[in-house]
Amino acid sequence: MIIILFGIFLLALTVITALAIVQSESLFAAVILTGIFSLLMAANFFLLDAADVALTEAAIGAGVSTVLFLGALALTGEQERSGSKNRLLALGVVTITTLIVIYATFDKPRFGDPAAPVHQHVGPWYLEKTPELIDIPNAVTAVLASFRGYDTIGEVFVVLTAGIGVLFLLSARTTARPENMQPPKESHQGLRHYLVPRVVGRMLIPFIFLFGLYVQFHGDYGPGGGFQAGAIVAASIILYALLEGEEAALRALPMRVLQWLIAGGALLYGAIGVMGMLLGGNFLDYSVLASDPIAGQHIGIILIELGVGITVTGVLLSVFHAFAARGKV
């Protein structure tokens, strides 16, 4: 009961935040509010016992994407351009869509209803068979990496494709510099003049990185896995870039390496799948990777999660660098 009340409270806050985002004319404030929105959604997911999703939402939604949005804002302006004329039309479309969505919720099962379709279909089978077939404590990882490995390889390739698309769009060199954009002075590279954030940030980076590795390799046992770990590792390197300047981060991890990471992670995932075929199983069937099927599942899950993590890290960092480089063209 208390959980439902708390959930309603959090959802009310998300609605208020969403209205504030629509209202605010300052895009900077809107970006920060978007981060708050993601954090509230993460708390909501956690209330629904979806710790893995909550971790992803907090790391990517509230963390990395806020930085990416701010990078985009540095290239555009901080104020919303006013003067769109079709306000009434937009209001009408939004109202109709809202009514349709509200109408659709009438058919949804009640919160926590055991007879809901999601609890009737393959869900119970996964929960029942995970200890027997895969034998890891976190059923989410078992479903994500093994039972539904095809979906996850699809997601990894979506991330890969999106990364390539963003890189294509952003790394097109424009020769003309907009008038209002000044080249950043060397002394303003990174937070050179902020002593306290630099010292504390430097101290924290190794621990954030270590936490990323923990989330990566502990995904079998607790909430975590490649997507979350990739975002956390990328966040630690983005923090380094913010503190020491983008060049320092590029010296540590050059763009060439990042491109190899993007392709390499997806390639590792696909290669594990093909390996299963070569060893006499099906594509993405990890049971044949070792003499013991359960050990084979463990090896396969660790490796494909690593592939996911590598690709996510590579894509997030490349997109960040693409935005940052764009500001200096």
**DSSP string computed for 37-85:** HHHHHHHHHHHTT-HHHHHHIIIIIIIIHHHHHHHHHHHS-SBPPP--S
The residue within the footprint of another protein, chosen from 197, 202, 282, 292 (CB under 8 A), is 197
Q: What gap in Å lies between CA 283 and CA 210, rounded to an integer?
A: 32
Per the listing, tokens 């099906």 go with 282
Rounded least distance, CB 188 to another protein, Å:
10
User: Binding of another protein at residue 201 (CB under 8 A)?
Assistant: yes
User: Binding of another protein at residue 200 (CB under 8 A)?
Assistant: yes
The helix/strand/coil state of 238 is: helix
Rounded least distance, CB 253 to another protein, Å:
24
Q: Which is nearer to another protein, 12 or 169 (CB)?
A: 12
User: Binding of another protein at residue 137 (CB under 8 A)?
Assistant: no
Provide the token pair at 171: 């790394």
Rounded least distance, CB 200 to another protein, Å:
4
For residue 264, give the nearest of 166, 158, 170, 160 by alpha carbon: 160
Q: What gap in Å lies between CA 305 and CA 141, rounded to an integer?
A: 9
Q: Which 8-state DSSP code applies to residue 291? A: S
Q: Which is nearer to another protein, 191 or 263 (CB)?
A: 191
Q: Which is nearer to another protein, 28 or 283 (CB)?
A: 28
Q: Which is nearer to another protein, 3 or 200 (CB)?
A: 200
Per the listing, tokens 């290669």 go with 271
User: Binding of another protein at residue 51 (CB under 8 A)?
Assistant: no
The residue within the footprint of another protein, chosen from 9, 111, 168, 194 (CB under 8 A), is 194
Q: What gap in Å lies between CA 267 and CA 230, rounded to an integer?
A: 16
Using CB atoms within 10 Å of the CB of residue 1, give its burial: 0 to 12 exposed, 13 to 18 middle, 19+ buried: exposed
Rounded least distance, CB 34 to another protein, Å:
18
Stretch that binds another protein, among 12-20, 25-33, 186-194, 216-224 (CB under 8 A): 186-194
Provide the token pair at 261: 């990471």
Q: Which is nearer to another protein, 201 or 314 (CB)?
A: 201
Stretch that binds another protein, among 167-175, 187-195, 270-278, 282-290 (CB under 8 A): 187-195
For residue 146, give the nearest of 299, 310, 279, 313 by alpha carbon: 299
Binding mask 293-312 for another protein (x = CB under 8 A): --------------------
Query: Residues touching another protein: how many (CB under 8 A)?
Result: 9
Stretch that binds another protein, among 73-81, 147-155, 196-204, 221-229 (CB under 8 A): 196-204
User: Binding of another protein at residue 77 (CB under 8 A)?
Assistant: no
Rounded least distance, CB 126 to another protein, Å:
27
> 286, 299 in Cβ contact below 8 A?
yes
> 311, 265 in Cβ contact below 8 A?
yes
**Residue 289: beta bridge partners?**
none
Binding mask 202-221 for another protein (x = CB under 8 A): -xx-----------------
**Residue 79: beta bridge partners?**
26
User: Binding of another protein at residue 88 (CB under 8 A)?
Assistant: no
Rounded least distance, CB 205 to another protein, Å:
12
Per the listing, tokens 């424009």 go with 174
What are the respective helix, strand and coil percentages of the chain, to the nearest 5?
75, 0, 25
User: Binding of another protein at residue 196 (CB under 8 A)?
Assistant: yes
Which residues of this protein are in contact with another protein, per CB under 8 A? 191, 193-194, 196-197, 200-201, 203-204
